[in-house]
Amino acid sequence: MSLNRISRRDALLALGAVAIRPARADAGLLRATRVDHLALAVGDIDKALVFYRSLFGNEVLKDVRTPRRYLRLGPSYLGIAPTPVGEAKRIDHLGIGIANFDAPALKTSLEGAGFKVRQSDLGLFVGDPDGTSIQIWADESWKQLRNAAPDTGPRQEVLFQPRGMHHVAIQTGDSARSAEFYRKLFG
């Protein structure tokens, strides 16, 4: 596959190892364990929950301070929140799990490689060339969700028993630029 033809999907499918520092020079800065979570900004959170619960299950946590919900997908999850007024429904961010997550070391490494990094108590954030926010945080962050309690919403019959999240496809305006970004980040 040539550099001009790699898609974000192909780049994201390359996720899969476990350490911060790569063994090879071309392996990228991060060695991700998995797509940890995907956060969605939706128009109607109640309708979205009915839909996603019927597909993937009833294990849902509710953020006690906001309307945000977290629907478990094996070791991964969907974060679902209402879209802020005046904004479009969208993928809010993509969460990448890193085993042995060390925020200061990762931040230093990313900034040293030229990435603009924003740090919060929920990990590190970088923006891809098209503005998609990527959260870099601990693997299986479901276990670290704070201010969340079991959601008492209606139980539904479930169609699938998910074992995790396989990949995420994101459209890009410039596939070569995006491929270089993701290759530098993940190898």
pLDDT digits (tens, 9 = 90+) for 101-152: 999 999 999 999 999 999 999 999 999 999 999 999 999 999 999 899 999 8
Query: Cα–Cα distances in Å, from 65 out to 62, 71, 85, 171?
Result: 9, 17, 18, 32
Residue 26's pLDDT band (cuts 50, 70, 90): low
> For residue 50, what pLDDT is reported?
94
If you average pLDDT over residues 149-163, what whole number do you get? 91
Burial zone of 53 (CB within 10 Å; 0-12 exposed, 13-18 middle, 19+ buried) = buried
Token pair, residue 185, equals 């980040």
CB 167, CB 182: distance < 8 Å? no
